[in-house]
Structure formats: structure tokens, C-alpha cells
């Protein structure tokens, strides 16, 4: 099988270039639909079942794939692969900064996060199907398109697939330093808005209620919610307020990014933000809080660790250094792990610079990673992984 994987390297690169050069930002359904169509056509060719979903009136196109219908007596998948088609980049980025490569790396919008992972999912399926190695195992795949904005729409769909699966593999990028992931922080975004009263800053400032001054107090209060010793970070990321230099501002707002490593921190954080409106420092200003924690931490269970040890053995047998790390970034794996389903993350291509102009993948990781996933699926099929 390894020789087959090596022989398909050029096709892998062609496929990756094709989808990297399709704009597929979270708010660009036409591009997302085009990416979904690319994968659907390829899966149809190998006889896998495909279903297109047009959630939220077509704004969130998704693709569901399975290698066979579920047996009536065993309504469960052995494996669920999850990958997101959306990127953080706006329409026009692909033409301005198209796919490129040198001797060691490939570059382009979404090449690492996570179009390299999507192509890995496809090639693993094609290789296994043609080798007959997937005949005794039930595999489902979920390609969603709103992960970068919280998976609010697609989450119930792929959670339904996960609930019928023995375990989940998430194809976010393999860390640049060589590690996979069993643990991710959870988190969410809060919006703090201060409503005051406008007035002329020179003629009658006493008639105003300064929303910006109150927001400054609230920002200081928000910062106190962080608990670095428990892995909880709280960062004000975007602020705005005021309309003109000579007007007392009647509105000011701040976006706050929160990450938690421990599930019980969620309640403390939620209560802390709700308390903001009860602690106002500027007369006649009202404080409004929206948002919240939308992803609980991805915390490995004992079953997850047992699965990892079996996968680690397979990886090391083919020469891959199987290491683990944790990250502050969230993924769809946060949701599936919270359901109690063993979830292994960072099974995509090794790379870095996600969400930046310098995003890249390491070319020498492609063949080993595809090989690893093929061997893992074979391990499930022949009982080496239980």
C-alpha cells in the first residue's frame, strides 16, 4: 500500500492546488458549494454514498459521505472523519495569493487549515477502496463549512453522525512541531456593550453619559476573570466607541475572546460576565453582555487514551514519531469529545501559520500521514484496534 500512496503524490498535490485556489470563506456559500462539489464527484466515482446538505437556506453547504449503508442490525459507524471546508479568508484571496510551493512547503489560503486535511480524507478513501481494505468497516465523513465561525449550524448534523460512531478523527493540521492532539481548550466570544447618552463635549458634557469611560472600567473587570494557573485566558480583542471628537459617546463595545482548559471554569466565566451589568461605574450607563462559552474543552477520556496507545503503536511501526500536545485553539473535536466519543485530532497534514499570509504545509509529511491513516483504518478492520 505504501508504494501506491507514493505513486499518488502528484495527484494529491494537484487536488490540493485545485481546492486551495477556490475561495471558501465561511460567508461565501458559492465557493463552499464548489469545494463540496469537487469532493462529491470524486467520492461518487469510487462508489461511496454522498449526500449534499444545504443548511440555513443554503448558507452552510455540507457534504456527508459513507462507504456503505448502515446494517439494520448494527446502526453504527466504526469511524467518523470530520473536516471543514471553510477558511477565514475573504473572496478574492485565492486569486491574489494562489497556491504555490517550493522544495519543502506548499502555501496558500487554507492549505494547512484545513484543505490539506480534506484531501487526506479523500485519498485515504480512494486508496482503501481500491485495495478492498475498507470492505469490513463502516466509515462516515462529514465536510462542514462553518467551523471557523463556531459550527453553530452544522454541529447538530455531525454530532448525530458522531453519536453513531465508535470514534472520531478530526483532520485539523498535524502540529508544526510534530504532535497530534487529544486535548484542546474550550472557549467562546463575549460582546460587552455600554449604552450611554450623547451630548456636546464642549457645551454640555454634564448632560451626557460616557459609554467609553464605562467600557474602560468593564475591560479592567473582564481582565480580572483570567486564571492563568487554571489555563483560563481572557483577552479583549476589538473595541469601538464614539462618533466624533466633540461628542460624548453614547455607545461603546468590546469583543472578548475566552479560552478555558477545565470544564468547570465555564460557569465561573459566564457568571463573571453577567455580573458586569450589576457593577456600573458611570451614572446613567447601561451594560449589556451577549455571547458566551460555545465550546467546552476537548478532554480525553480513558477510552480515548486506550485508542491513542493502539494508534501510537501503529504509527511508530511505520516510522512516525507519535507525540501529543495541547492547544488553545478549538475544533469540531471539542464537540464530539464532549459527547463522550473517543476523538483523535490533528490528523491532517503537518503545517503552521494558520489564518495568516504565511500559512503552509510541510510536503514531506503528506505521504507518511496518508500512510498512517490507511494503516489505522486497516487496524480497525482487522481487529488490531478495538
Predicted confidence at residue 386, as pLDDT, reads 82
Predicted confidence at residue 137, as pLDDT, reads 93
Rounded mean pLDDT of 300-310?
96
DSSP string, 264-331: THHHHHHHHHHHGGG---STT-EEEEEEEEEE--B---HHHHHHHHHHHHHHHHTT---EEEEES---
Predicted confidence at residue 147, as pLDDT, reads 96
Position 76 pLDDT exceeds 90: no
pLDDT in tens, 218-249: 999 999 999 999 999 999 999 999 999 999 99
Domain 186-295 has CATH 1.20.120.1760: no
CB under 8 Å to 65, separation ≥6 — which residues?
A: 39, 40, 43, 48, 49, 50, 51, 125, 140, 141, 142, 143
Residues listed for the chain = 386
Mean pLDDT of the chain: 96
> What percentage of residues in the chain have a pLDDT greater than 90?
95
Predicted confidence at residue 337, as pLDDT, reads 95
CA separation, residue 289 to residues 189, 228, 256, 355 (Å): 11, 23, 11, 28
Question: pTM of the full predicted structure?
Answer: 0.89
pLDDT in tens, 187-229: 999 999 999 999 999 999 999 999 999 999 999 999 999 999 9
* CATH T-level topology, domain 2-184+298-381: Aminopeptidase (3.40.630)
What's CA 10's distance to the chain center, in Å? 27
* Dihedrals phi, psi of 368, to nearest 5 degrees: -60, -35
Using DSSP's 3-state secondary structure scheme, residue 194 falls into strand
Instruction: Identify the CA nearest to 173 among candidates 379, 372, 362.
Output: 362
Domain locations in the chain as residue ranges: 2-184+298-381, 186-295
pLDDT level of residue 72 (50, 70, 90 thresholds) = low
Predicted confidence at residue 132, as pLDDT, reads 93
pLDDT level of residue 75 (50, 70, 90 thresholds) = low
Position 357 pLDDT exceeds 60: yes
pLDDT in tens, 263-304: 999 999 999 999 999 999 999 999 999 999 999 999 999 999
> What percentage of residues in the chain have a pLDDT greater than 70?
98
CA atoms of 192 and 222, how far apart (whole Å) = 10
Counting Cα atoms < 13 Å in the Cβ hemisphere of 122 gives 30
The burial of 247, by beta-carbon neighbours within 10 Å (0-12 exposed, 13-18 middle, 19 or more buried), is given as middle
CA atoms of 302 and 296, how far apart (whole Å) = 18
pLDDT level of residue 71 (50, 70, 90 thresholds) = low
Amino acid at each position: 500500500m505504501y508504494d501506491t500512496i507514493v505513486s499518488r503524490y502528484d495527484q494529491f498535490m494537484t487536488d490540493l492546488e485545485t481546492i486551495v485556489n477556490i475561495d471558501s470563506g465561511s460567508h461565501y456559500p458559492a465557493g463552499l458549494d464548489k469545494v463540496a462539489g469537487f469532493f462529491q464527484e470524486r467520492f461518487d466515482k469510487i462508489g461511496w454514498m454522498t449526500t449534499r446538505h444545504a443548511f440555513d437556506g443554503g448558507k452552510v453547504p455540507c457534504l456527508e459521505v459513507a462507504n456503505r449503508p448502515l446494517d439494520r442490525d448494527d446502526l453504527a459507524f466504526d469511524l467518523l472523519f470530520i473536516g471543514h471546508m471553510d477558511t477565514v479568508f475573504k473572496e478574492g484571496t485565492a486569486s491574489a495569493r494562489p497556491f504555490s510551493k517550493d522544495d519543502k512547503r506548499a502555501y496558500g489560503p487554507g492549505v494547512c487549515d484545513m484543505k490539506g486535511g480534506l484531501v487526506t480524507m479523500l485519498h485515504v478513501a480512494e486508496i482503501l477502496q481500491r485495495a478492498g481494505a475498507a470492505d469490513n468497516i463502516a466509515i462516515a465523513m462529514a465536510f462542514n463549512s462553518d467551523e471557523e465561525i463556531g459550527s453553530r449550524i452544522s454541529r447538530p448534523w455531525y454530532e448525530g453522525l458522531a453519536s453513531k460512531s465508535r470514534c472520531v478523527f478530526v483532520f485539523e493540521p498535524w502540529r508544526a512541531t510534530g504532535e497530534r492532539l487529544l486535548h484542546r481548550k474550550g472557549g467562546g466570544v463575549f460582546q460587552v456593550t455600554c449604552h450611554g447618552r450623547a451630548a456636546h463635549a464642549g457645551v454640555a458634557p454634564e448632560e451626557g453619559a460616557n459609554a467609553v469611560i464605562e467600557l474602560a472600567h468593564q475591560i479592567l473587570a473582564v481582565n480580572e476573570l483570567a486564571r492563568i494557573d487554571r489555563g483560563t485566558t481572557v483577552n479583549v480583542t476589538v473595541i469601538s466607541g464614539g462618533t466624533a471628537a466633540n461628542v460624548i459617546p453614547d455607545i461603546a463595545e468590546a469583543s472578548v475572546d475566552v479560552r478555558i482548559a477545565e470544564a468547570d471554569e465555564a460557569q465561573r466565566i459566564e457568571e463573571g460576565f453577567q455580573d458586569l451589568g450589576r457593577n456600573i461605574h458611570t451614572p446613567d450607563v447601561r451594560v449589556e453582555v451577549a455571547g458566551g462559552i460555545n465550546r467546552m474543552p476537548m478532554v480525553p477520556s480513558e477510552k480515548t487514551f486506550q485508542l491513542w496507545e493502539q494508534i501510537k503503536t501503529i504509527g511508530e511501526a511505520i516510522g512516525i514519531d507519535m507525540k501529543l500536545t495541547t492547544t488553545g485553539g478549538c475544533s469540531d473535536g471539542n464537540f464530539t469529545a464532549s459527547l463522550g466519543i473517543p476523538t483523535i485530532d490533528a490528523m491532517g497534514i503537518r503545517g503552521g501559520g494558520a489564518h495568516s499570509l504565511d500559512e503552509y504545509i510541510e510536503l514531506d509529511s503528506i505521504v507518511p500521514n496518508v500512510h498512517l491513516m490507511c494503516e489505522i483504518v486497516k487496524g480497525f478492520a482487522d481487529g488490531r484496534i478495538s
